[in-house]
Amino acid sequence: MFGKAMALKKWPQEQIIGAFCSPLCLSLFFLVSVLIVFNFAIRKPKPKSKNQLPSPPKLPIIGNLHQLGTLPHRSLRDLSLKYGNMMLLQLGQKPTPTLVVTSADVAMEIMKKYDKVFSNRPQHIAPKILLYGCNDVGFALYGENWKQKRKLCVGELLNMKSVQSFYPIREEEVEELVNKLREASLNDACVNISEMLISIINNIVCKCAVGRKFDEASEGNLNMLARKVMIYLTTFVVGDYFPSLSWIDVLSGKIREFKDTFQALDGFFDQVIEERLALKKMENNQFKKKGFLDILLQLQEDDMLGFEFSNNDIKAILMDMFVGGIDTTSAMLEWTISELVRHPIIMNKAQEEVRRIVGNKSKVEENDINQMHYLKCVVKESLRLHPATALIPPRETMSSVNLNGYDIPEKTMVYVNAWAIQRDPKNWENPEEFMPERFEHSIVDFIGQDFQFIPFGFGRRGCPGMNFGVTTVEHVLATLLYWFNWKLPTETNFGQQDIDMNEVFGLVVTKKEPLHLKPIAFYV
């Protein structure tokens, strides 16, 4: 090669010029020049127009995926402090960007002006497998079928009258929990209150949904399956962000896990449907509807809904009840009790109210809870600091729209960061502090009209189970405060060990470490 180079240097000048000026070389030179210019044009940053949203710098291929972190609600809040309360992310190779909203004002504009446009759901792989092809209420595409099912849930299953009718179920399960805690108190034992809360909420949801609870082994398996679904619904799936690489999810076994979990729950729903139909046939006119399933089966039999309503539709709604009802409600209770133990003055104030209103009665009654104003403030403040769904489940735009002066294209995935909005110092004084007193003389509520406080979402896609969850939390919490004082296992006269408040992200954000406490029976 060195010899050839030396030979080239001895060529006459005109020969060299002639060689480079040949038609082939000129064509190649022109082509390379065009490619270089084109590549430069692509890479050169384009001047920002007034309608272009800010976006954090992204990496080739993966975009901004690496910036989500293990706690996306916190990572996205930190990014928003630098790039604004509306920002675009490129997540993998999705054809359209993802909009992240961390502003109460923008959330209000979405609902007031464009709620329908923002009411679709992206069709991701896990929900399609686990939720009967997204045939449920939570993750279905916006349309007539979804509207009918949501109307059915809100009007027949989860309205306030229906929620109140389940008071005897809550009362029975709460009494059983109190008996277990009394026994622990007599033995000066420490209990895993997190585990006990999941168990009681599972029992309440089972009884309300399908008319009965299950033995300990079945209950444990059901809890595990429901929790798996909650985790899987926010698990990173390669195919959602890199469609051409979806085969990786098959090879890794992830798709198999989704399908196995679905089949186990589907088999459970088939079993309880058969049981309720057989019991109804056997008891004939004496059959009493005991839960959501009986109501749904009766509506299916009467064929009065005006739309096709199959067993899969029933099972999809039941899946929402189990998956959306157990973890969210137990997490609300777990965070609330954790905050009360960390703030003994607030705990004492709540207990004084509960014990004054209940008096010497043997149980906490529904009318008592309606009078517990401070207890309700405690629940609100817990929901503000620890919304069960820190990132409201993603929406997808049904058409292009101009939001807050920015052009948002059709099929843009949208995350509203409720956790960040509810800790925004623009909306709240001392936002990181647990202060139930902030609600004592405030009309701000969580029903979806005050956009600085949206733990249950808002608009058409707001959580239909809000009344069920809050009513259950208030009843269980009031009872635990009435009958017991609470201590940490290592608490001493010289101070108390703080509680680990680290989080685990999922569709529901839960405590990383379970809460262990000593119940000390309080005798009226």
Q: What is the pLDDT of residues 18-46, one digit of tens each?
A: 433 444 343 434 444 444 444 444 444 44
Residue 239 lies in a domain: yes
Alpha helix locations (H) across 118-215? 125-130, 144-152, 160-165, 167-186, 193-210
CA distance 226 to 232: 10
Show pLDDT as tens, one digit a residue, over the chain (524 residues).
434 333 333 334 344 334 334 443 434 344 444 444 444 444 444 444 457 899 999 999 999 999 999 999 999 999 999 999 999 999 999 888 999 999 999 999 999 999 999 999 999 999 999 999 999 999 999 999 999 999 999 988 899 999 999 999 999 999 999 999 999 999 999 999 999 999 999 999 999 999 888 766 666 678 788 888 988 998 999 999 999 999 999 999 999 999 999 999 999 999 999 999 998 888 776 667 778 999 999 989 888 787 889 999 999 999 999 988 899 999 999 999 999 999 999 999 999 999 999 999 999 999 999 999 999 999 999 999 999 899 999 999 999 999 999 999 999 999 999 999 999 999 999 999 999 999 999 999 999 999 999 999 999 999 999 999 999 999 999 999 999 999 999 865 444 568 999 999 988 999 999 999 999 998 75
Q: What b/e string do you get for 321-359 counting C-beta neighbours within 10 Å, with b at 16 or more?
A: bbbbbbbbbbbbbbbbbbbbbebeebbebbbebbbebbe
Q: In residues, how long is the chain?
A: 524
Residue 55 lies in a domain: no
The residues near 371 (Cβ < 8 Å, ≥ 6 apart) are: 357
Residue 56 lies in a domain: no
Residue 391 lies in a domain: no
Question: What DSSP letter does each residue of 310-370 carry, written as one string?
Answer: -HHHHHHHHHHHHHHHHHHHHHHHHHHHHHHHH-HHHHHHHHHHHHHHHTT-SS--HHHHH
Q: Work out how many domains the chain is built from and give that number.
A: 1
Residue 317 lies in a domain: yes
CB atoms near residue 220 (< 10 Å): 14
CATH code, domain with 328: 1.10.630.10
Residue 267 lies in a domain: yes
Q: Which residue has tokens 């009802």?
A: 325
Residue 54 lies in a domain: no
Residue 235 lies in a domain: yes
DSSP β-bridge partners for residue 100: 87, 415
Q: Which residue has tokens 């509520």?
A: 445
**Crossing angle, helix 193-210 and helix 216-232, to 10 degrees?**
90
* Range(s) of the domain holding residue 352: 120-382+462-521
Task: Give the CA-trace dihedral at 226, 228, 232, 233, to 10 degrees.
Answer: 20
Return the amino acid letter for 473: V
Given a contact cutoff of 8 angstroms between Cβ atoms, the answer to whether 101 and 394 are in contact is no
